[in-house]
């Protein structure tokens, strides 16, 4: 009897080990098979911007890798929430994904009632990259450093204006965070995009702007604008000579534009992980890496858990800024 019991225990142990191994192996596979048809990659901005360039670069490489076309679908509107909502309501099979941006994922939720919840209705895949903003001023402003700008704004409260690419955008919230952390006063002038904002900034109609480094730096190098600092937690690899705002006099200041991929909630973990792994591998290809770095992107490629945690922390951070600055949706 003892021998029989021993054999039964041994058999059960072997069987359990086999079942666990099989379960892990199945979880590591894309089941059901993926992709089995074209993948729709929604980009929440018009063609031509940084998010679009990043999406198209990845899309072409993944088309070659997967043997299925990655269709780039530019769905701008409502600060990118149209594209995100379309993804949240799509079939959870990995064949519809979206480029998540700070405005549509972590800012909009505190500005207006959304038809989706960015945490429960979407599954984070990975943060692809980040890009710093830079604080620039028109050359006519008597400020050549962050400390001088703060002193000028405090000496003449509400006499200067700052531009943004629109209400609730990264340039807007960056400036409002700067106001809250320094106690300065300046007037917000929203534009319909970064292009019009830069035109009026160069023309002197507004004096201050937190613009994306890739889009704004050419105007700095041509002498049309003066750059004071970058907004990241560390110096930009594209312009390492620039102090960060934190280094230049506002400790703890950080405001980054980020680009990540999300899928509908309930998408199988194995499919999410395949998409993540293939995207991260693609980001490290020499030609892709060189192109993105030259455009001012800093490559990330983190885990699903890390990206999900970052989204939650960013929602909390910007909710506080929106509340304290009394920002309202358009």
Return the CATH number at 142.
3.40.190.10
Task: Report DSSP state, residue 243.
Answer: P
Statement to judge: residues 157 and 225 lie in one domain: yes
- At 21 the pLDDT is 46
CA–CA gap between residue 170 and residue 72 (Å, rounded): 23
Residue 280 · residue 126 · CB < 8 Å: yes
Q: Show the tokens assigned to 238.
A: 């594209």
Q: 32 in a domain, yes or no?
A: no
Both 122 and 265 in one domain: the answer is yes
| 303 vs 309: CA distance, rounded Å | 10
265 falls within a domain: yes
Is there a domain that residue 96 lies in? Answer: yes
110 and 142 housed in the same domain: no
> Around Cβ 206, how many Cβ atoms within 10 Å?
22
d(CA 232, CA 165): 19
31 within a domain of the structure (yes/no): no
Q: 43 to each of 65, 71, 223, 230, 274, how far by Cα in Å?
A: 20, 10, 33, 26, 20
236 within domain boundaries? no
Let me know whether 124 and 144 are in one domain. Answer: no
Domain that holds residue 66: 39-130+256-324
CB atoms < 10 A from the CB of 80, how many?
A: 27
132 strand-pairing partners? 256
**Closest by Cα among 145, 71, 128, 121 to 292:** 128
Say if residues 162 and 209 touch (Cβ distance below 8 Å).
yes
Stretches where the chain sits below pLDDT 70 are 1-32, 330
pLDDT score at 330 = 64
Q: Are residues 65 and 152 in the same domain?
A: no
Report the pLDDT value the prediction gives residue 212, as an integer from 0 to 100.
85
Residues 125 and 141 in one domain: no
Q: State the Cα–Cα distance between residues 41 and 262, nearest whole angstrom.
A: 10
Specify if 101 maps to a domain. yes
Domain-located, residue 248: no
212 domain residue, yes or no: yes
Contact 50, 212 (CB under 8 A): yes
* CATH number of the domain within which 293 lies: 3.40.190.150
Q: Kindly state the DSSP code that residue 244 receives in the 8-state scheme.
A: B
Q: Are residues 46 and 181 in the same domain?
A: no
Decide: helix, strand or coil at residue 184. coil
Rounded to the nearest 10 degrees, the angle between the axes of helix 50-66 and helix 286-294 is 170
The answer to whether residues 287 and 211 belong to one domain is no
- Structurally, the chain folds into a number of domains equal to 2
Rounded to two decimals, the pTM is 0.80
Based on the fold, state whether residues 140 and 117 are members of the same structural domain.
Answer: no
Task: Note whether 49 and 198 are same-domain residues.
Answer: no
pLDDT of residue 54: 92
Confidence at residue 31, expressed as pLDDT on a 0 to 100 scale: 55
Tens digit of pLDDT for each residue in 205-261? 999 999 988 788 889 989 999 999 999 999 988 889 999 999 999 999 999 889 999
49 shares its domain with 98: yes
DSSP three-state, residue 165: coil
């Amino acid at each position: 009897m003892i021998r029989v019991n021993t054999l039964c225990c041994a058999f059960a142990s072997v069987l359990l080990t086999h079942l666990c191994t099989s379960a892990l192996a199945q979880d590591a596979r894309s089941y059901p098979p993926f992709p089995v048809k074209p993948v729709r990659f929604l980009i929440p901005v018009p063609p031509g911007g940084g998010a679009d360039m990043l999406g198209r670069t990845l899309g072409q490489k993944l088309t070659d890798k997967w043997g299925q076309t990655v269709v780039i679908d530019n769905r701008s509107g409502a600060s990118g929430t149209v594209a995100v909502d379309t993804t949240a309501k799509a079939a959870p099979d990995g064949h519809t994904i979206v480029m998540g941006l700070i405005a549509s994922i972590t800012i909009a939720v505190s500005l207006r009632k959304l038809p989706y919840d960015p945490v429960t209705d979407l599954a984070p895949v990975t943060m692809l990259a980040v890009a710093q903003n830079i604080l620039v001023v028109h050359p006519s402003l008597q400020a050549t450093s962050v400390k001088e700008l703060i002193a000028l704004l405090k000496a003449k409260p509400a006499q200067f204006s700052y531009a943004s690419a629109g209400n609730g955008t990264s340039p807007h919230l960056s400036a409002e965070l700067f106001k809250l952390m320094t106690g300065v006063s300046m007037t917000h002038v929203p534009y319909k995009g970064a292009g019009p904002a830069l035109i009026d900034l160069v023309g002197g109609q507004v004096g201050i702007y937190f613009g994306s480094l890739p889009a704004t730096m050419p105007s700095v190098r041509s002498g049309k604008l003066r750059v004071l600092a970058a907004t990241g937690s560390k110096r930009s690899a594209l312009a390492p000579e620039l102090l960060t705002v934190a280094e230049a006099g506002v400790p703890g200041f950080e405001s980054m534009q980020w680009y990540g991929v999300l899928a509908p909630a309930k998408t199988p973990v194995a499919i999410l992980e395949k998409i993540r792994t293939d995207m991260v591998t693609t980001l490290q290809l020499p030609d892709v890496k060189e192109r993105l770095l030259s455009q001012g992107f800093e490559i990330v490629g983190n885990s699903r858990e890390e990206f999900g945690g970052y989204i939650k922390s960013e929602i909390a951070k910007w909710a506080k800024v929106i509340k304290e600055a009394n920002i309202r949706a358009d």
